[in-house]
A = this chain, B = another copy of it.
């Protein structure tokens, strides 16, 4: 039976994006953002949305740059910690024993221990209400060589990213089974 419910921000799954930024003094910070996704192929762009109350919001406004780091499942505790505390009160990199490494392309730190990251230059800001959407052009990627496919792309089975199950049960999940090929499995329905 179908049930009508209020409009809510429940996208299944939501990603776990660890956004890296510097403040005006070069102190690195990380934020755990579930509100984001790819928004354009050419130029390649990603969006991350933040409240003005966050340190990362102001860091991006100043630096016009950020990284999007994808944690592997073994960094669940660290990724969750990043979403619990504010960088205004502590140094999240030090507390989580993670290593900031300056991107060679943008003025933002990479999380060295995570398998890959997108390096983004801010190109647009869209104010929507509680959140401002920051759109970054992805001008480079940095990846561990052992998570790449033969054609040099991050392989989800080697990256082992975390998923967020949203507000239904507020839990993180691993990826499961490979169920079939994209742009292929559906061909059998083509007339």
A residues with CB within 8 A of B: 1-15, 17, 34-47, 49, 51, 68, 70, 73, 76-85, 90, 95-96, 104, 112, 116, 118-119, 124, 126, 128-131, 133, 135, 137-145, 148-149, 152-157, 159, 161-191
Which residues from B are CB-within-8-Å of A35? 37-41
Which residues from B are CB-within-8-Å of A3? 142-145, 148, 152
Q: How far is the CB of A18 from chain B (nearest CB, A)?
A: 12
Q: Looking across the interface, which residue of chain B has its beta carbon closest to that of A42?
A: B130
Q: Could you show 6 A-B contacts with beta carbons less than 8 Å apart?
A: A10-B141, A12-B15, A36-B39, A42-B130, A42-B131, A82-B186
Cβ contact within 8 Å between B39 and A133: yes
Cβ contact within 8 Å between A141 and B6: yes
Give the CA-CA distance A167 to B77 in the complex, in Å.
28
Which residues from B are CB-within-8-Å of A41? 9, 35, 51, 129-131
Cβ contact within 8 Å between A14 and B39: no
Give the CA-CA distance A34 to B156 in the complex, in Å.
15
- Residue from A126, A140, A166, A186 having most chain B Cβ neighbours under 10 A: A186
